[in-house]
Amino acid sequence: MTATLLDVQGLGRRFGELAAVDGVTFTAEAGRIVSLIGPNGAGKSTIFNLLTGYLALSSGSVTFRGERIDGMETCRIAELGIARAFQIARPFRGLTVRDNVRVGALFGNRAGRGSAIIDEAMELAGLRDLADAQASELTIGQLRKLELARAFAARPHLLLADEPLAGLVPAESEEILASLRAVAARGAGVLLVEHDMPAVMKVSDRVIVLEAGRLIAAGTPDEVTRDPRVIEAYLGQEA
């Protein structure tokens, strides 16, 4: 019995004439990993911005654990239990890894300062050894892990991971994917935006395909890869 965490209905966002997101409907469940895929400009990052309250909706509704969150302030949404790991890592450069993660823990869903949560988050992300390093000294792969650790520390109900694998070598990708699986196993829902198709197919429970702001297919990885519309949109893409 998996609880529906997120219920997105007819989500839409216009920038003047352009509909960046148009009538997108989907759900996310606890303990499940849902991936959003699509060509660049399909609206994936915009959806994340809309869900976290960074952008206002033009139409539609977003319900999180039974509560309408469209229109809420970013920090309030974060308090309710949605955490985001950024595509372009935004670490707090002047702080250590541990302090970065601590901020995530202190202001997340279940605000706690116990070092247990911080250590657990760093463990999940594979950063235990780097706990006292300055964030400004990390490599890109390590920064990605820091993004995730910070999000994990917030003990979110729903984690939004924005292209966490971009620019990583296969070994690092595997580590990140393992972290995501571990987080889902603990009961959080994961929304993943990614371009790395093999990775997406390996780790996702469901896949949602977007094109030009619209949802063109949704289903299990197998169903989606065999969907003719998807194949057409991805002509030339690795499937």
Q: Are 184 and 178 in contact (CB under 8 A)?
A: no
104 makes contact with another protein (CB under 8 A): yes
Burial class (CB in 10 A: 0-12, 13-18, 19+), 7: middle
**C-beta of 13 vs 150, nearer to another protein:** 150
**C-beta of 160 vs 224, nearer to another protein:** 160
Q: Are 11 and 57 in contact (CB under 8 A)?
A: yes
107 makes contact with another protein (CB under 8 A): yes
Give the count of beta carbons closer than 10 Å to the beta carbon of residue 149. 30
Count of residues making up the chain: 239
Q: Considering only 20-28, 38-46, 86-94, 119-127, which stretch makes contact with another protein by CB under 8 A? A: 86-94
Taking CB under 8 A as the criterion, the residue among 68, 110, 113, 186 binding another protein is 113
Distance CA 198, CA 185 (A): 21
Taking CB under 8 A as the criterion, the residue among 92, 131, 205, 212 binding another protein is 92
Paired tokens of 78 = 């974060």
Burial class (CB in 10 A: 0-12, 13-18, 19+), 214: middle
Paired tokens of 191 = 């929304």
Paired tokens of 212 = 């030009």
Taking CB under 8 A as the criterion, the residue among 12, 38, 108, 189 binding another protein is 108
Q: Considering only 7-15, 95-103, 196-204, 225-233, which stretch makes contact with another protein by CB under 8 A? A: 95-103
79 makes contact with another protein (CB under 8 A): yes
102 makes contact with another protein (CB under 8 A): yes
177 makes contact with another protein (CB under 8 A): no
DSSP symbol at 134? B
Distance CA 97, CA 138 (A): 9
119 makes contact with another protein (CB under 8 A): no
Q: Are 144 and 168 in contact (CB under 8 A)?
A: yes
Binding-site size for another protein (CB under 8 A) equals: 25
**C-beta of 154 vs 200, nearer to another protein:** 154
116 makes contact with another protein (CB under 8 A): no
Q: Which residues are near another protein by CB under 8 A?
A: 52, 54, 74-75, 78-79, 83-84, 86, 90, 92-95, 99, 102-104, 106-108, 111, 113, 150, 154
